[in-house]
Amino acid sequence: MTLPTAFSPGAFLAPAIDWLNANFHPFFALVTRVIEAVLGAFEGALLALPPWALIAVVAVAAFLAINLRAAILAGCCLGFCWLTGLWTGSMQTIALVAVAVAISVAIAFPLGILAARRPAIEAALRPVLDIMQTVPPWVYLIPAVMIFSLGRVPAIIATIVYGIPPMLRLTTLAFRGVPKDLKELGEAIGAKPGTILWKIEFPAATPTLLVGLNQCILLSLAMVVLAGLVGAGGLGAEVTRGLTRMEMGLGLRAGLAIVAVALLMDRLSRGALQQGRRWRRPGAAG
């Protein structure tokens, strides 16, 4: 039951993508190489230490930065990843998420500040963000796969794009929520715009910014896991293998390792959030 005339926007767009691939290949190859290099370096760093040493380092860092509970949780989660026999996959997933989140934040943070200053930019961005947040994550993978083919690069690009909206929204909200009297105080004592931004607005906006970071991390993790379908490697690939080959033991181990990674990232970023609140309090009082 279809219309007699076939209509396919895809058939029109496919040649355009082919043309892009043919004529901009050096550019895409450059992007691919840069991303692969950064990811490779990050993964190499995570895998350079033996698992027990990395677990110890992370636990100590969590203890120093947050508290004992966070340290125990971090140790348990990473130890669990090790026990599932998927240490390499877990580290690949963590590296993908970390690089994607860093780039998402680097894009969303300045845009968010700009949108908080200029209502016109915010009005222009809002419908775009609305659409981006309603579209299911799968759809992000398709254009990335078309241009960068299968592998880690389309995965990370889709993840970056998917992680931008929550961070951008909450950055705008955070900077809009900075009390006016604080900014006026800065202007009255003749601080430079840069000083006002970093010394006054940024500390006041930190709690909301960290909420944005937490959401950005969790959405990125969901996307990285899903990207196992397009050959991104890591734990997502193991889940996909388990699902498609009905190797339930492997699938279950990968799923549990993902649970551990998700808990680790969520709790650490939330711990940082509470820490951020604690820093802010004396600052606001003094």
Partner 1 sequence: MEISALIARFDEMVDNALFWLGDHAAFLFDFFRVVLEGLYDGALWLLELPPFYVVALAAGLLGWRVVGRGFGLGIAVALLACAAMGLWPETMSTLALVIAASIIALAVSLPLGVLAGLMPRLDRALTPVLDLIQTLPPYIYLLPSIALLGYGPATALVATVIVAMPPAIRLTSLGIRQTPHEFIELGRATGVTPAQMFFKIRLPFAVPSIMAGINQSLMMAFGMVVIAGIVGSGGLGETIYGAIRTLDIATSIDASIAIVILTMMLDRLTQGAARPRKGARK
| Minimum separation from the CB atom of position 91 to partner 1 (A) | 15
Which CB sits closer to partner 1, 127 or 282?
Answer: 127
Max alpha carbon distance in the chain (Å)? 74
Q: Do 215 and 167 touch, CB atoms closer than 8 A?
A: yes
Which CB sits closer to partner 1, 85 or 179?
Answer: 85
Which CB sits closer to partner 1, 66 or 200?
Answer: 66
| Minimum separation from the CB atom of position 60 to partner 1 (A) | 23
Measured distance CA(260)–CA(101) in Å, rounded:
18
Which CB sits closer to partner 1, 205 or 235?
Answer: 235
| Minimum separation from the CB atom of position 74 to partner 1 (A) | 15
Q: Do 147 and 28 touch, CB atoms closer than 8 A?
A: yes
Which CB sits closer to partner 1, 14 or 41?
Answer: 14
Six-digit token string for 107:
């894009």
Q: Do 94 and 46 touch, CB atoms closer than 8 A?
A: yes
Q: Which residues bind partner 1 (CB under 8 A)?
A: 1-3, 5-11, 13-14, 17-18, 82-85, 131, 134-139, 141-142, 145-146, 149, 218, 221-222, 225-226, 228-230, 236, 239-240, 242-244, 246-253, 255, 258-259, 262-263, 266
SS (H, E, C) 223-285: HHHHHHHHCCCHHHHHHHHHHHHCCHHHHHHHHHHHHHHHHHHHHHHHHHHHHHHHHHHHHHH
| Minimum separation from the CB atom of position 268 to partner 1 (A) | 12
